[in-house]
Structure 1
Amino acid sequence: MDEDTSPAPVQNTSRLKDVSHLTDVIALSAEVPLQQVTKPHSQRYISDLTTYSLKDLLAEPTILQTQSHHLTSSLTSLTHTSYPTFLSLHQTTNALTTSLTSLSSSLDSLLTSSLPALEECAAGWKDRTETVLKERSKARVVLEQHEKIRDLLEIPLLIDTCVRNGYFAEALSLVSHAKALAANASASNKSSPLILSSVLSEVHHSIMQMLLSLLSTLYEPNRKLPALWKAVNFLRKMDVFGPSSPFASAPPHLTSLIALPESEKVSESIDDSISSEEQIALAFLVGRESCLKSTLEPCGSDISRMTNHGELDDREKEDLARYLKKYIDFWREGVYDVITQYSSIFLEKSSAPNSQQSNKPRQLDSPTTSSESEIIQGWARLHTLITTYGSRALTAYLLPTLSPSLPLLSMSLLPSLLTQLTYCSSAFARVGLDFRGILSALFSHAVTEIVSQELRTAGDKFSARFKIPSGPSSSNTRTINGASRSNKWEPPTDWLVTPATAALPPVPVTPATPAVAGFTHSPPHIPPQILAAYPPLAEHANALLGVLNGLRLLAPTSILHALSAVLDDAVLAPGGRAVHAYVKAFCRAQDNGSGVRRSMDGEDGGADGDERERRVIMAFGQVYFGILVPFMRRALVEGVYGIKLDASFEVASDALPTSVMDWEDYVLEQTEQSDESSNES
């Protein structure tokens, strides 16, 4: 190996003072930021490097790397061993920074806002303390008058307690005490204190509650005279309808419930002068009428339901009569209680001063004083109220219920209702409400409607049996001996007369026209025996007599002519026209040769059979017009009413006489034709 002959490095001990050029070279070659190289400690290090030898310079990186590893491991160890200290130091530093920032902000706020506000508050301290002192002075006065104020504030509460428990006299005493305190305060000061105004407002509210409680007593159905007397007396003491009260004028909802008739309405000036007593009486009547209405409504709704149902059967009529009896009892009890209670509360009290005055000796020529005149006038007006109420109770509740209901009943149910209403009217006559005169017209109308309807029903049923066949193709089917046979006309011997008298049918010996006039000497209540030979006439007579027997239970004399007109024009005359038309059509059919079944066994009797059928049907007509018509008219007029039916009895119309005369003309015509045929033969 060759030995190294290079000269040994020479130690340069000189130090460069200006290393700026070297700094630029290092920064460009090492790509180190210039700021890092230009730091003071970096400049000192670079200056120290200029004193190193080449060997030291070459060893410097290794040394630096070794030191870096050593420092890194030392820092790592320090970090692992002292990391809580670092964390605490970091938190403390952050807290200190925040505290310093907050302190700076607080100091700024103190300097900019708090200190000027403090200066301003200090400047206005005197004004504010004066207001506070005044308020404290008022509070001290309130504390000094605490007992009196507490007593004053407890007045509304005590009034409410008294009203709830029914101690109305004590409540009125407290009201008077509160008003006296307010009057004394108003007399001493120009304006009353606000606390007194507030207390009086609460007292007014409590008094309104008391008023409502007293008025509600008048609307309670089960209240008797003592409770009502107490309520009215306290209403008088309260003077709620006096001139200074807001209830001085009659409320519209009170005056509308009790409507006066046109003849009893007063003028506007008189209405304005209605006294407090009259308004209390009006409120009493309205309250008790409300109770009466609530009592009658359940039974009245049942009656309305049945009257709107239409035609009623016998069971429904009995139910309706039972409802009417119950309704009448409720009405009687309710209205009688109202009238007697009103008389005891208002009329006796109002008439007391008058009676005291009347007990004093007074000369006949001495004039009546104004006070006596006012007392008499007030009593008369109070009496007018109760009479008007009685008339209203009769016309608004009883009569509207009875008028549509009575005509729907049967005749057997009317007498008991009339008896009940008669006793009711007799009881009300003691208090000045006798309505027996109304009952006469009411029941007369009901009897007329019921009897007329029953008579028309019986007449229509009878007339319906004489329907004329409409044409040659029509047939009428009847069952004879179990066999059904059809033909155009039914033989009169099969259904107009009994088999025993079919060969020689009985006929009346008196003409028809006098019978219509009512001239006969037979008993009016016993049907003629000849009617038994003609089943249709016997059934018709029984139906009409059944109606007249029901009429005997209640037969008003005022409706005789109306019933007679119904019997003549709606029953006997239409039945006579139906019989006449049927007989005439039957005879015409015989003359034209139409087939008629002759006998029960179906055999044709020839000319003798036709003559027998004609004789039977003509006899049937003669009995109807000559016997049944006059008997039924006498059964109504003489048998029921006991009035002689003669030529002077007024006939309602010419319908029945015309029908009878038409039949007589037809009989004469048939007789003449028969005589002519006999002469020709």
Structure 2
Amino acid sequence: MADPLYDLLAPYFDQQDAPAKPVPSPSDPTTQAYLARLATLSLPSLSSSEPQSLAQSSASTVRSLQALSKRSHKSIIASSSSLSSLSSSLPQLARHAAELQGALPELETASAHFEKTYSRSTENAILDRRRKAMLLARNVDRVADVLELPTLLSSAISSSGAAQGAGTAAASGLSNSSYASALDLHAHIKRLHTLYPNVGLVTEISTQAEQEMKGMATNLITSLQAQGIKLAGAMRTIGWLRRVAPELDQAWNYDQKRTSIGSNEGALGSLFLVCRLANLLSTLEALDPLRELADQEAVRRSNGGKNKDNWAGGQQTERYLKRYIEIFREQSFAIISMYCTVQEVWAG
């Protein structure tokens, strides 16, 4: 049922701004609220204050609309433009949606093929290669450290050889420290090779380390041939050799009865004697100029015929023999005494 007050006011709605404003609906909440308010007002209020109130509300609404249009005119214009293009955008959106829906089966087929090809549950060379590359990228620092082991080992051996050649006490301490570092590095490489025997990189590094250790053994053997080696230096060198080349320290197994000399020291005893013998021979070879003078003197004596004093001259021969016997005696005594001391240590 329509409101009587609304029916009473309805004929006056189209008197002003009829083309601009539609007629309000009687069921509109705003219309109903205003009609209820009008019913509570007195006649003087309706004739005097209510028109002023409506005019103030209208003016306030106009000012608000003006401020809104000034503040948001760009957004309003953009919204209007978007609204005008909406009629053409919606069909285009529908067309693209249809194309996307038509492409979904092909996408589903391609994704299924990709999943089947690169699944972790199946053998795949590409995935395996990528997995190894990722593993290498995560452990590149460790791999770099492992690759530097042969270089570090070579540096330690070279520095120990150079320090040993200096012959001073400080150089001897540095040589011992360098040899100890080299043995620690070699033990670490051997441990890596034991843990990862099937890794080609570790096997190659182990091979390089063995070559470096052979060079270290060569340096130690060369140091046993040095001139004027002392007992302490010889003991240290043999101790390093026992660790670098343990196969030389193994006792020889003979079927016959072993002799007392060289029965417990393995090949190291023979190696020590050979090195010191080489040093003795090189020292004696240094007397070759004196020997040549003695030979020349002997030739002159033999060509001179019979002289009154056959023992006249011979100074060069005497000088050579005296020096030869002196060197042979000193070096032989040093070799035998050093060998006996080393043998006692081995026996203990």
Deviation at 1:242, TM superposition (A): 5.0
Q: Distance in 2 between matches of 1:209 and 1:203?
A: 10
Aligned mates of 1:147, 1:249 — CA distance in 2: 46
- Give the drift of 1:169: 1.3
Q: For 2:143 and 2:291, locate their aligned partners in 1 and report how far apart those are by CA, in whole Å.
A: 63
The reply on whether 1:174 has 2:181 as its aligned counterpart is: no
What residue identity is the alignment partner of 2:159? N
In the alignment, structure 1 residue 324 sits paired with structure 2 residue 312 = no
1:136 is matched by which residue type in structure 2?
Answer: R
SS of equivalent residue, structure 2 residue 247: coil
Deviations 1:508-560 (A, max 9, x none): xxxxxxxxxxxxxxxxxxxxxxxxxxxxxxxxxxxxxxxxxxxxxxxxxxxxx
CA offset at residue 290 of structure 1? 0.7
Alignment of 1:279 with 2:275, yes or no, is: no
Q: Which of residues 341, 350, 361 in structure 1 aligns to 2:346?
A: 350
Query: In the alignment, residue 168 of structure 1 is paired with which amino acid?
Result: Y
One-letter identity of the residue aligned with 2:320: Y
Mapped to 2, the partners of 1:315 and 1:215 lie a distance apart of 47
Q: How does 1:133-148 map to 2 (within 5 A)?
A: 133-148=127-142
- The 1:289–1:140 alpha-carbon spacing in structure 2 relative to 1, beyond 3 Å, is same
Instruction: Report the AA paired with residue 271 of structure 2.
Output: A
Judge conservation of contact 2:265–2:343 (CA < 8 Å) in 1: no
Q: Which residue of 2 aligns with 1:195?
A: 201
Task: Provide the C-alpha distance between the structure 2 equivalents of 1:267 and 1:300, rounded to a whole number of angstroms.
Answer: 44
Q: Distance in 2 between matches of 1:197 and 1:152?
A: 12
Within the candidate set 280, 292, 295, 1:292 is matched to 280
Aligned with residue 162 of structure 1, among 153, 156, 180: 156
2:338 corresponds to which of 337, 341, 349 = 341
* Shift in alpha-carbon separation, 1:142–1:276, aligned structure 2, 3 A: farther
Deviation at 1:151, TM superposition (A): 2.1
Deviation at 1:301, TM superposition (A): 5.8
**TM-score, normalised via structure 1 length:** 0.27
Instruction: Looking at secondary structure, tell me which structure has more helix per residue.
Output: 2
- CA distance in 2 between counterparts of 1:275 and 1:158 reads 38
Q: Which residue of 1 aligns with 2:31?
A: none
CA distance in 1, matches of 2:144, 2:127: 24
Distance (whole Å) between structure 2 residues aligned to residue 275 and residue 325 of structure 1: 36
Give per-residue Cα distances to partners, 1:186-223, cap 9 Å, x unaligned.
Answer: 4xxxxx21111111101101111111111110122233
Q: Is the 8 A contact 2:231 2:338 kept in 1?
A: yes
| Partner-residue secondary structure (3-state), 2:226 | coil
Deviations 1:481-531, CA, capped at 9 Å, x for gaps:
xxxxxxxxxxxxxxxxxxxxxxxxxxxxxxxxxxxxxxxxxxxxxxxxxxx
CA distances 1:31-61 after superposition (whole Å, capped 9, x unpaired): xxxxxxxxxxxxxxxxxxxxxxxxxxxxxxx
- Which letter does structure 2 place at the counterpart of 1:183? T
Alpha-carbon distance in 2 for matches of 1:332, 1:269: 32
The 1-side partners of 2:150 and 2:133 are apart by: 23
In the alignment, residue 298 of structure 1 is paired with which amino acid? A
**Structure 2 Cα separation of the partners of residues 222 and 236 of structure 1:** 22
> What residue ranges of structure 2 are gaps of 5+ in the alignment?
1-116, 119-123, 161-177, 302-309
Q: Is the 8 A contact 1:163 1:171 kept in 2?
A: yes
Structure 1 residues 143 and 270, CA gap change in structure 2 (3 angstroms): farther
Structure 1 unaligned residues grouped into runs of 5+ = 1-125, 187-191, 251-265, 353-681
| Distance change >3 Å, CA 201–CA 157, structure 1 → 2 | same
1:295-306 counterparts in 2 under 5 A? 295-299=283-287, 302-303=290-291, 306=294
Say whether the 8 Å CA contact 2:153–2:209 is kept in structure 1: yes
Identity across the alignment (%): 23
Contact 2:153 2:182 (8 Å CA) reproduced: yes
Match of 1:184 in 2: 195
- Distance change >3 Å, CA 242–CA 295, structure 1 → 2: closer
Q: Quote the offset at 1:131 in angstroms.
A: 4.1
Distance between the aligned counterparts of 1:307 and 1:268, measured in 2? 47
Q: How many matched pairs? A: 199
The answer for the alignment partner of 1:217 in structure 2 is 223
CA root-mean-square deviation: 3.2
Q: Give the whole-Å Cα distance in 2 for the aligned partners of 1:174 and 1:328.
A: 46
Give the deviation of 1:304 after TM superposition.
6.1
Q: Is the 8 A contact 2:280 2:331 kept in 1?
A: yes
Larger radius of gyration: 1
1:223 match: secondary structure:
coil
Structure 1 letter corresponding to 2:179? F
- Per the TM alignment, residue 291 of structure 1 is displaced from its structure 2 partner at its CA by 0.7
Counterparts of 2:299 and 2:136 in 1: how far apart (Å)? 79
- Kept in 1, the 8 Å contact 2:156–2:182? The answer is yes
Measured in 2, the distance between the counterparts of 1:178 and 1:292 equals 38
How far 1:238 moved relative to its partner? 2.3
Shift of 1:153: 1.6
**CA shift at 1:181, angstroms?**
2.0
**Cα pair 1:241 1:276 within 8 Å, conserved:** no
Note closer, same or farther for the CA distance 1:275–1:172 as it changes in structure 2 (3 Å cut).
Answer: farther
Cα distance in 2 for residues equivalent to 1:298 and 1:238: 32
* Residue pair 2:252, 2:263 contacting (<8 A) in 1 also: no
